[in-house]
Amino acid sequence: MIRILHEDARQLAIAVGRREPGKTPTRMALRQDSFLILALWRLRCGARRWRIPGVNHLLRRVQTVVFGIELGNEITLGRGVFFVHPIGIVVGGDARVGDRVRFMGSNTVGTARDDGCPVIEDDVVLGAGARVLGPVRVGRNAVIGANAVVLTDIPPYSVAVGMPARVVRDAGAPLATDAVAAMVAYGEG
């Protein structure tokens, strides 16, 4: 568990992109709510795996009350997932979230019907209020604009905006180096 948390800290430091002289990635990560949320979620997973009664439920309530985030029991979170503004984020069902995915706030990842849950690949940015619903795949390095509703697959290195989301920049077009700048430039919201 310590090794996994250290890797989360390292990946989170990469996702945040800040380098502070004399500070280890772990020290930098400890100042981020994202790291604490990931640590609680990993402890919840450990409590379920080790069959410690009540701990998962208690820690889930702590996450919800303290951070305003709801992470389901069956989800998979990659390393260094960055919850920029955790209030209102819901990840449910058996959704799979890759490494260094950025949640900007008030996001929903899951399903409205029991037809499957999303797979979000590595280094994706989900704009504020974005929803990813159903058995869809969001490709690596994609940017989902603010308030977009993703109901179909999004290719890697794409920018998708709108309700329902449509790709406005495809995999063949170069993206801005800063994914957040790309979201602002091509997003609706």
Q: How many domains does the chain have?
A: 1
Looking at residue 149, its pLDDT comes to 96
pLDDT-derived band at 6 (thresholds 50, 70, 90) equals confident
Residue 188 confidence (pLDDT) above 50: no
Q: Cβ(109)–Cβ(120) under 8 Å?
A: yes
Burial class (CB in 10 A: 0-12, 13-18, 19+), 87: exposed
Average pLDDT over residues 158-180: 74
Is residue 85 part of the annotated active site? The answer reads yes
Strand order in the sheet with 119-120: 76-77, 96-97, 119-120, 137-138
| pLDDT score, position 32 | 81
Give whole-number Cα distances, 7 to 18, 23, 86, 129, 163, in Å. 16, 15, 20, 28, 36
Q: What mean pLDDT do residues 4-22 have? A: 73
CATH number of the domain where residue 105 is located: 2.160.10.10
pLDDT band at 167 (very low <50, low <70, confident <90, very high): very high
Residue-level pLDDT at 129: 96
Domain that holds residue 150: 2-186
Residue 184 has pLDDT above 70, yes or no: no
Write down the catalytic residue from 10, 23, 42, 85: 85
Q: What is the pLDDT of residue 171?
A: 60
pLDDT single digits (tens) 82-137:
999 999 999 999 999 999 999 999 999 999 788 889 999 999 999 999 999 999 99
Write out the chain in H/E/C secondary structure. Answer: CHHHHHHHHHHHHHHHCCCCCCCCHHHHHHCCHHHHHHHHHHHHHHHHHCCCCCHHHHHHHHHHHHHCEEECCCCEECCCCEECCCCCEEECCCCEECCCCEECCCCEEECCCCCCCCEECCCCEECCCCEEECCCEECCCCEECCCCEECCCECCCCEEECCCCEEEECCCCCCCCCHHHHHHHHCCC
